[in-house]
Amino acid sequence: MIVVTGFKPWGRHKHNPSEELAKLLHGRVIAGQRVESKILPVSYRAALEAVAEIHAISPRLTLHLGLAASAPALRMEKVAVNIADAGPDVEGVEKRGEPVVPGGPAAYFATAPMEEMVDASRRAGVPARLSYTAGTYLCNYIFYLSLHHAGRGAAVGFIHLPLTPEMALEGNAPSMPLELQLRGVLAAVEAALKVLR
């Protein structure tokens, strides 16, 4: 099984492409594996609960998705750090430089093959690059927690998505149509499963 998570809109954003892509991917079968999607509020508590549920069922691949409003391309995240330094989340919880997991390692590398995923997205005609920071908010938080709790043989990756054109109409930020984002993510998942098989 493949688990995909997406976040609901938060703050000034009316949409979140990660929610929309997670919905579009739900129920698809990719390289023989069924996708089970989860949509989460931008909440530290919800992320913690979701990660526990996900890794109780040991999916072969868990792909977390989130919005990075400044990203001009798909950003395949290579590193999750043990710091939460942002907020408030939608429940009003703020984290000021706290560890995601007290006593946990400073950082984890993604266990999904992010480099191959970048290449696959590019081959599918969708701009993508490797990134070495997922920030210090919910996206890094869920990514770190997921890597911390995943069992052996359960790969975890994170893709940050650009705004959609509808969300960037003021012309002050880069954007990418949702269909293109979907094509890149699908190509990336296929490539990941090929490597992990």
Active site residues: 77, 139, 160
Tell me how far, at minimum, the Cβ of 123 lies from ligand PCA, in Å.
26
Tell me how far, at minimum, the Cβ of 195 lies from ligand PCA, in Å.
25
Among the listed residues 131, 180, 146, 163, the one whose alpha carbon sits nearest the alpha carbon of residue 11: 163
Name the one range near ligand PCA by CB under 6 A: 54-62, 118-126, 137-145, 178-186. Answer: 137-145
Q: How far apart are CA 29 and CA 31, in angstroms?
A: 7
Q: Is 18 in the site for ligand PCA (CB under 6 A)?
A: yes
Q: Is 51 in the site for ligand PCA (CB under 6 A)?
A: no
Tell me how far, at minimum, the Cβ of 86 lies from ligand PCA, in Å.
7
Amino acid (one-letter) located at 118:
V
Strands 95-98 vs 107-109: parallel, antiparallel or unpaired: unpaired
Q: Is 62 in the site for ligand PCA (CB under 6 A)?
A: no
Q: How far apart are CA 74 and CA 180, in angstroms?
A: 10
Contact characters 74-113, ligand PCA, x per CB under 6 A:
----------------------------------------
Q: How far apart are CA 2 and CA 4, in angstroms?
A: 7
- In what helix (H) or strand (E) does residue 118 lie, and over which residues does it extend? helix 114-123
- Looking at the Cβ atoms of 108 and 193, the one nearer to ligand PCA is 108
Q: Is 139 in the site for ligand PCA (CB under 6 A)?
A: yes
Contact in structure between 79 and 158 (CB atoms under 8 Å) = no
- Which burial class, exposed, middle or buried, applies to 6 when counting CB atoms under 10 A from its CB (0-12, 13-18, 19+)? buried
Binding-site ranges for ligand PCA (CB under 6 A): 7, 16, 18, 42, 66-68, 135, 137-139
